[in-house]
Amino acid sequence: MRILVVDIGGSHIKLLATGQKVPIKITSGPTMTAREMVRSVRAAVAGSRFDRISIGYPGVVRHNKPVTEPKHLGGGWIGYNFRRAFGCPVKVINDAAMQALGSYRSGRMLFLGLGTGLGSAFVIDGVIAPMELAHLPYRRGRSYEEYVGQAGMKRLGTKKWQRHVFDVVKLLKTALEADDVVIGGGNVRRLPKLPAGARRGSNAHAFAGGFRMWKPQPTR
């Protein structure tokens, strides 16, 4: 089975197909609508055929469909028929959940993605549970995302931002009784040292998660 994994980000869309080692990058941004994403992906892989496609989407996904429009891209995602557009079966999952699935080893794993915002997902005994922790209140009427997202880093400075990352990881790890914490996203590189009990994620794990999406998940 030949699978194409599409990892959609605010600045780039990355593609990796079964058997490939180097992803294809497509520039995205505020003009990247759902229709334009499909057109750009089809052009980038022209001549190739796929049996399945996995999409990591930067927003809330329920029942294999986006239910919110992405903050940093164009519109038209809610209700868009990806299967019809690509001509093959498509699975859509939150982008943090896709990277979490690819990062998973065992037990109860919390994934936190430090990027423009704060992505989050939880995996329990191999079962993925997308989460939306970013907008929960954290301090002084501000959310977790407002402290450990990109805007928080700019407002606080890197040193204070790092301290808040450590605090947030400790709080959420304790609250969710996580055995393992993976910190991914583009800003993980801003952490020369990781909080206790955490390990560093990788964008490559998003592709691993995309391939795993077509394997049967364990039931509880």
Digit-coded pLDDT (tens) for 31-48: 999 999 999 999 999 999
Digit-coded pLDDT (tens) for 152-194: 999 999 999 999 999 999 999 999 999 999 999 889 999 999 9
Please give the Cα distance from 80 to 34 (Å, whole number). Answer: 7
Please give the Cα distance from 38 to 73 (Å, whole number). Answer: 14
pTM for the full model? 0.87
Q: Which domains does the chain show, CATH number per domain?
A: 3-97 (3.30.420.40), 106-200 (3.30.420.40)
